Structure 1
């Protein structure tokens, strides 16, 4: 049998496998009870139910947090036969809300990167030392919907819009670390990639 006759079916199978993975990543469901992504350019107050997540704690350049944490998180869900959901969550230090920190080159700090379980009923049978399983309480957030680059500079640029919104709405106060939700797989064209930047808030009494 000629080599090209062997390689052709193998190539077709590889393409099919890639297409299946792409479809699966695109079709990844939201965790139970999660609202849909905020549309591009809109700012809205949203309610989130309690959820469970697998989390990696990262220290270093914040621009590298999601990339460095992805492999151990993927190994965790794979070894436990846990389905992938969207979004992937990265929580940044509260200091990134401060005007003096915005736009700082090579900004460093500690970030928490999480894969969210589909349900709070899911609990893994195996947990590596670098993975923490967290139960996150329900929360209210102010959210900005985005499309485009997932790089950290876009977070630095757009967190300012939420700071401005908070300054204009003193009836709300910040109660937690800002976070970014990443909804789409790496193969998705950059202009089509959806994300949100969110800040946990609560209404000021009185």
Structure 2
């Protein structure tokens, strides 16, 4: 085996290990109600979201929103216990949706706002509460409570490509309509892997809130 082949193989194995480590991160508590191929229906417990609004193309906006949120959980905050700052465990997925503040329609949660405006969110670990979470140093970040919800999700690989996001959104909506589910939210993009994981190995989902 040539040196190039060895290096290439080593890079692939490293990427796979990084992907596995990332996927080992905690996900929000939920129960899978139904599984049909790449589609799942899940019941999620209430959760707290750290959110920031950004603008730009989908991929660029996702990265722009990731940075201040990562800074927040890794110490860019003020502890409520007067101990300086707190570090918060990273969870998955990172959630990206069209910004609610410029909504053009009126569903219950995420909305189809103008193209180019997005809300990016980290899910806070369940051991934290609104009373104990540290205050973000970046004033663009807000902490918001999300109620228990039933979500439909369709899984796919690849990067944050808007056309792929729209394609999978349409596929999930068609499934839900054919099965008689009542859709009460707009499509949300969820990513589970950091940018350094090779695109073919990245786990992505489109999620849509449905009635119980």
TM-score by length of 1: 0.71
Partner of 1:57: 53
Structure 1 residue 187 corresponds to structure 2 residue 196: yes
- Aligned-CA RMSD value: 3.0
- Contact preservation (8 Å) 1:54, 1:114: yes
Partner of 1:199: 208
Q: Distance in 1 between matches of 2:182 and 2:163?
A: 25
Structure number having the greater helix percentage: 1
Give the drift of 1:139: 0.6
Corresponding residue to 1:176 among 177, 185, 202: 185
Partner of 2:119: 112
Change (3 A) 1:41 1:145: farther
Give the drift of 1:125: 2.2
Change (3 A) 1:115 1:40: farther
Q: Distance in 2 between matches of 1:118 and 1:82?
A: 8
Structure 1 residue 47 corresponds to structure 2 residue 43: yes
Partner of 1:92: 98
Q: Radius of gyration: which is bigger?
A: 1
Corresponding residue to 2:62 among 44, 59, 66: 66
SS of 2:197's equivalent? coil
- Contact preservation (8 Å) 1:40, 1:145: no
Gaps of 5+ in 2: 1-13, 76-85, 106-113
Q: Distance in 2 between matches of 1:40 and 1:145?
A: 11
Corresponding residue to 1:133 among 143, 166, 174: 143
Give the drift of 1:135: 0.8
Give the drift of 1:52: 0.8
SS of 2:40's equivalent? strand
Q: Identify the range of structure 1 (191-200 vs 161-170) with the bigger mean alpha-carbon deviation.
A: 161-170
Change (3 A) 1:108 1:190: same
Give the drift of 1:60: 3.8
